[in-house]
Structure 1
Amino acid sequence: MLEPYSPLIIVTDSEYRQNKIPEDVIIIKVVSAEEAYWKFVNFYRYQFKIPIVAITGTSGKTTTKEMIKHILSFEKKVTATNLSNNSRTAFLQYLLSIEDDTEAAIIETPVGSPGDISKAGKYFKPTIGIITNIGAHHLNYCKTLEGYIEAKGEMVQVIEPNGTLIINSEDVNTSKIDMTNFRGRIIKVGKHMSCEFRASHIRYNLNGMQFTLHHNMKDYEIFVPGFGEHQVYNALTSIAAVYGMGVTIPMAANHLQSFQQLNKHLQLFEGINHSILIDDTWSLTTTSLKAALQVLNELGKDKKKVAVIGTITDLGSSGYKIHEQAGELIHDIGVDVLITIGEHASIMAEKVMNLGMDIPVYKFKNSTLVPQLLRDIVDNNTIILIKGDMYSKALHELATKLKKPSISSE
């Protein structure tokens, strides 16, 4: 029964009766199994003198990680966390995926609770750390936005000495992190003149975004698949990271053009009644909601814009307040029809109406009646945004019912 795992070594601080263990199993008795475990982790990690990138953020971390992986994979042997499977229980598995021929590793770190990034740092000891942005999320464990910002800020502490931290210069919450004791290099990306990797002339193009990248007194034209200004920030961050690993900007830009947009990340489909459907049911935070609404407005110029929005999860006692803030976002950015699904999502609808937004607003506890409503109100001059998260089965099923074969490249 043990053959698939042979050779097998048991490291333990417990007493074993030898007659219960097969003869081909080696037992190493130690004083402390936990101490031995961490000695092994440290020993294994330092066998590799390669760039290790650790990424955190409320939105964009999976896309940024996949972009970096995509660009590097043309020239290097790369290992990375699988999509958004960043569970703390998989840290050792991902560390052991680094092998003799691995030339770079890209790790998406979780933040469900304070200490998660610190623990990831004990395993991976990143040479490059990235914070994409910080919104409001996981407040059920981090309790407050300040606690969540502090948890994200653990990234500053885990980067190896003389390492690099890449941040979004325009993200207000990231600027609240105490970086005074950080002795490595800080690289800022964004639109501000102070950014080392700066974007200007941002515009929508067929199937993606076009922008001008300014770096070291030189300009580069960049195309990145996927819609929204947030996608430009993902691209800027990715290019900054790979540039630090020896990839030139023209080479990175060339590879970036073939990046495959991630499933359920603002994907375009033909919808019912020949409408356009945007499936953005991977993640729902106020940060990603703002990005999605901006894309809806840009792609929906001269069209009726319908937003179908689910409940924002993992908010703890801050749920009511955050859903009200989401309602304010909807009011400020604007839609033509609002449909909310879920009890807490109705708080957004109430806020929109209380702010005096004169649009049709529909509130549903579940999605049962939504398909028929949409059939009645949409046509070929309508664009529909379905916005939820990966845990919302109702939103996923609704998007599936409403879509026809993709009309965008993926």
Structure 2
Amino acid sequence: MKPLTTGYIRKIISGKLMHGRDDLLIQHGAYRLKQVRHTHTILFLSRKIVRWERLQPFYPIAIVTDRDLEVSGRTEDVTVIKVENLEESYWKFINNYRASINIPVIAVTGTSGKTTTKEMIRHLLSFSRKVAHTNSTNNSRTAHLSYLLGMDDTTEAAVFETAVGAPGDITNAAAYLKPTIGIITNIGEHHLNYCKTLEGYIAAKGEMCNALQPDGTLIINADDRNTKKLDLKSFNGKIITIGIHSKCDFKASDVCFSSEGMYMTLEHLQKKYRMLVPGLGEHQIYNALAAIASAHQIGMGLAEIAVRMRTFQTLNKQLQLVDGINGATIIDDTWSITTTSLQAALNVLQAVEPSKKKIAVIGTITDLGSWGYAIHERAGEIIAESKIDMLLTIGKHAKIMADTVSKKGVAMEVHSFNNHILAFELLKKAATEDSLVLVKGDMFSEAIKKLSTLLRKKNMRADRKIDRPST
């Protein structure tokens, strides 16, 4: 955060100094007690009673309140500013701080690919700029303030994930971050427990259109079926399209697997650039296209992007190839699961080392609410259409996928388990050096995580290369 004095902040929020001093230097902000972790914090506090013993380790501190507040303890280390309307004053502070930051701010949303796309952008830009960014996948509502204040006069670009757990989430993030570039990687079927319907979920992702500044840039996937349902008529900014199969601004062609990842030819403005994209699967190409388009939009040349992209490090537990039990190859994709990412993972399973036996271990899809049965049934249909030899599901709801596959009558060996123990016992017999085993699930599924750990060979290589390239 750019250091600001309490006097400067008080004028911005139209506050009255009730206690303390105007020259206290503020370097952090918070609107909840548990967010206070540093000295020199300004806390926008709605409570009338303050637990001073909780705050004392972080003195000196400034408190903004719309209540009469009695200060106790080391009063010389506490500054109190009273305002008429706390929420209004809070947003005055937020808007003033964001207005003082004049840099490209990229917001990334989508059902899958958010984290990878964000990390690719950060990687590309960090060679020549100081970049503020989302920490791992921490994209919750409570993180927006810290990310905003994490930008200062030395920051030259920023890239943040803006997830959708419920309608209004992107709008809320944009109120803090005010992105200049927005990316929608894709729109699948997720978080239907709060969005209620697929249409509601599409509309929630579509909040990105209104989140951008009037002269902002929206980057969308021209191949994605649900993205095509977005109402873009009222969007007055610039639209950049990416894709593989459609006419678009940044198009990938001649895509093939290699021992290093994926090669593609990037087509843009009638020019072609051959590029390596580390990672596996067509979905990784879409992630790269979105990252390339955003980096190019803020001034990075495509030739330089091609060089920088080669050194991108793929993320742990996201289609990660590792050595497994009995010499089998494990594809660890236990970061998250949606129908969109499931399809992508199955595509990789089928394309990599095609001569090997294909085994898929699939866990439950979460955050579906009343849509749980329908989405798991849809996932089963996706699995049934894939050319794999054996399916194992783990979890009560995941069994719906297995039952759906069985009803289809496809030539696939199907097993269902409630936990990972019996699944592991079966895989100890079924997995051999001629097997490729996909483990697909959610980071919050203990059963899937434990099974993934058990399947990994001890003292394995951190990442395994593809033995036999396939096109």
TM-score range, shorter chain: over 0.9
- The one-letter amino acid paired with 1:106 is V
Alignment of 1:204-215 (within 5 A): 204-215=257-268
> Structure 1: which 5+ residue stretches go unaligned?
none
Distance 1:128 1:333 in 2: 36
Task: Give yes or no for the alignment of 1:114 onto 2:170.
Answer: no
Q: Over residues 188-245 of structure 1, what are the superposed CA-to-partner deviations in whole Å (9 max), with x where a residue is unaligned?
A: 0002452110110000011310000001111000101100000001111100000011
- Please give the secondary structure, in 2, of the residue aligned with 1:160: coil
Selected match of 2:411 from 358, 371, 376: 358
Q: Which residue of 1 aligns with 2:332?
A: 279
Residues 243 and 289 of structure 2 are in contact (CA less than 8 Å); yes or no, is this contact kept in structure 1?
yes
- Aligned position for 1:167: 220
2:398 to 335, 338, 345: 345
Report the counterpart of residue 464 of structure 2 in structure 1: 408
RMSD (CA atoms): 1.4
| 1:10 matches 2:66 | no
1:266-295: CA deviation from partner (whole Å, max 9, x where unpaired)? 001111110100000001000000000000
How many residue pairs get aligned? The number is 410
Q: What is the correspondence of 1:47-66 to structure 2 with a 5 Å cutoff?
A: 47-66=100-119
Of 63, 69, 73, 2:122 maps to 69
Amino acid at match of 1:101: T
Could you tell me how far 1:387 is from its partner in structure 2? 0.4
Query: What is the distance in 1 between the residues matched to 2:77 and 2:369?
Result: 51
Once the two structures are TM-superposed, the CA of residue 385 in structure 1 deviates from its matched residue by 0.3
Checking the alignment, whether the CA contact within 8 Å between 2:223 and 2:246 is kept in structure 1 is: no
Structure-to-structure mapping, 1:64-213, within 5 angstroms: 64-192=117-245, 194-213=247-266
- State the alpha-carbon separation in 1 of the partners of residues 396 and 79 from structure 2: 56
Tell me the TM-score normalized by structure 1.
Answer: 0.97
In terms of mean alpha carbon deviation, does 326-335 or 58-67 score higher? 326-335
Residue 218 of structure 1 pairs with residue 288 of structure 2 = no
2:206 counterpart letter in structure 1: G
Asked if the contact 1:199–1:214 (Cα under 8 Å) also holds between the matched residues in 2, the reply is yes
Report whether the alignment pairs 1:247 with 2:300.
yes
Q: Provide the rounded CA distance (Å) in 2 between the counterparts of 1:302 and 1:20.
A: 73
The 1-side partners of 2:158 and 2:344 are apart by 28
**8 A Cα contact 1:273 1:379, kept in partner:** yes
Please name the residue that 2:12 is paired with: none
Higher RCO, Cα 8 Å, sep 6+: 1
C-alpha distance in 2 between matches for 1:269 and 1:353: 30
Q: Aligned AA for 2:101?
A: F
Aligned ranges for residues 24-63 of structure 1 at < 5 Å?
24-63=77-116
Cα offset for 1:60? Answer: 0.2
Native 8 Å contact 1:327 1:349 kept in 2: yes
Q: What is the distance in 2 between the residues matched to 1:116 and 1:345? A: 28
Q: Deviations over 1:93-148 (max 9, x none)?
A: 11010011000010101211100000001001100000000000001111111111
- Pairing 1:310-325 to 2, within 5 Å after superposition: 310-325=363-378
Equivalent in the alignment of 1:392: 445
How high is the TM-score relative to the length of structure 2?
Answer: 0.85
Q: Which residue of 2 aligns with 1:298?
A: 351
Distance 1:175 1:21, change over 3 A: farther
* SS of residue matched to 1:369: helix
**Structure 2, gaps ≥5 residues long:** 1-52, 466-471
Amino acid at match of 1:46: A
Amino acid at match of 2:464: S
CA deviations on 1:283-310 (whole Å, 9 max, x unpaired) are: 1000000000000000140110000000
Looking at structure 2, the residues matched to 71 and 7 of structure 1 have their Cα atoms a distance apart, in angstroms, of 39
Listed one character per residue, the Cα deviations across residues 349-384 of structure 1 (whole Å, up to 9, x for unaligned) are 111111111221101011111111111112111000
CA displacement at 1:19 relative to structure 2: 5.4
Q: Distance in 2 between matches of 1:102 and 1:299?
A: 41
Q: Match of 2:434, as an amino acid?
A: N
Q: Output the CA distance in 2 between the equivalents of 1:240 and 1:18.
A: 53
Residues 207, 227 of structure 1: 8 Å contact kept: no
In structure 2, which of residues 311, 335, 348 is the aligned counterpart of residue 258 of structure 1?
A: 311
**Which letter maps to 2:125?**
L
Q: Distance in 1 between matches of 2:271 and 2:248?
A: 13
Any idea what the Cα deviations from partners look like across 1:238-264, whole Å, max 9, x if unmatched?
000000111101111111111111010
Distance 1:346 1:82 in 2: 34
Q: Give 1:85 deviation, angstroms.
A: 0.7
Cα pair 1:52 1:124 within 8 Å, conserved: yes
